[in-house]
Amino acid sequence: MNLPMKPSATNSPARFQLPSVAFFGRTMSEYLQMLALEQGQLRGLAILDVASGPGSFVAEALAVGLDVTGCDPLYDGDPEQITAQGKADIDACREQIRRNPEVLLYADIEAFYRDKYTALERFAADFTTRRNEGRYVAGALPSLPFANTSFDLVLTANLLMVYAPLEDGGMSQGTDFGLAFHLRAVEDLARVTKSELRISGMHTWKHPPERHPYCHPMMNRLEELGMRAELVQSHYDDGCSITNPACNQVLVARR
């Protein structure tokens, strides 16, 4: 499955912006911190990670006996090719971060990059051996290939909000991931969720970051669907928390 193509990258240093969704992932430790979860909360749950990418959450969670499935449009790809794409996308993101030091400020940028390469290595090893075991499923929002209420806990990080168009506070040069997409996406995430849904990163990617304009419309849609939605503080350093820690929140919706 191919991702929607967007116009090619510009050289503008003015804004952090990407021509398409990066295949760029985090370690399990980063993931838990980002989504304000403890590993102990995950035992015994059927968990789905949507837009799972080359993060190592699925690989590491399976290794400690958790019941996790990852879903990403690129999971029907060849392991070598998507791993190469993962490396190229880390390099492209590094370049964008280098050009926009005023937008993204990390407490330890080298540790941030090290974690990305570690996650990619762990993902690549696990995806290569396990891709036919049903733990890495090719699929995309807003039409996930799962039955209603299939998973106790559904997670998604670093797709929604982040890839909103530039004018709406995201990083996308294109407009594929506008508000209409986000509302359809949360409807589908709610559809596959039995108990709890967590969506990371409720802030814009401008300096200084602010509450994302899609955050409340998404919460309202989840409430209309019968879920109770709230914002919970995250302490993950995603490059924005130094300038506005209050924005670093996770949307948690429960049935």
* Structure-token pair, residue 95: 């370049």
Chain mean position to CA 232: 16
CB of 200 to ligand SAM, least distance (A): 7
**Phi and psi, residue 150, nearest 5°:** -75, -25
- DSSP H helices in 35-158: 57-63, 79-99, 109-130
With binding defined as CB under 6 A, does residue 236 bind ligand SAM?
Answer: no
Which among 7-15, 67-75, 130-138, 234-242 is the span making contact with ligand SAM, rule CB under 6 A?
67-75
Which among 39-47, 68-76, 167-175, 232-240 is the span making contact with ligand SAM, rule CB under 6 A?
68-76
CA distance linking residue 41 with residue 39, whole number of Å: 5
CB of 6 to ligand SAM, least distance (A): 11
Q: Which residues pair with 238 in a beta bridge?
A: none
With binding defined as CB under 6 A, does residue 239 bind ligand SAM?
Answer: no
With binding defined as CB under 6 A, does residue 197 bind ligand SAM?
Answer: no
> Looking only at residues 27 through 56 of this chain, which bind ligand SAM when binding is defined by CB under 6 A?
50-53, 55
Which residue's Cβ has the minimum distance to ligand SAM? 53
Asked if 72 and 134 touch (Cβ cutoff 8 Å), the reply is no
Q: Cα dist. 96→19, 47, 161, 182, 209 in Å?
A: 11, 32, 18, 24, 17
Among 141, 161, 215, 253, binds ligand SAM (CB under 6 A): 141
Q: Contact positions toward ligand SAM, by CB under 6 A?
A: 3, 21-26, 50-53, 55, 72-74, 140-141, 157-159
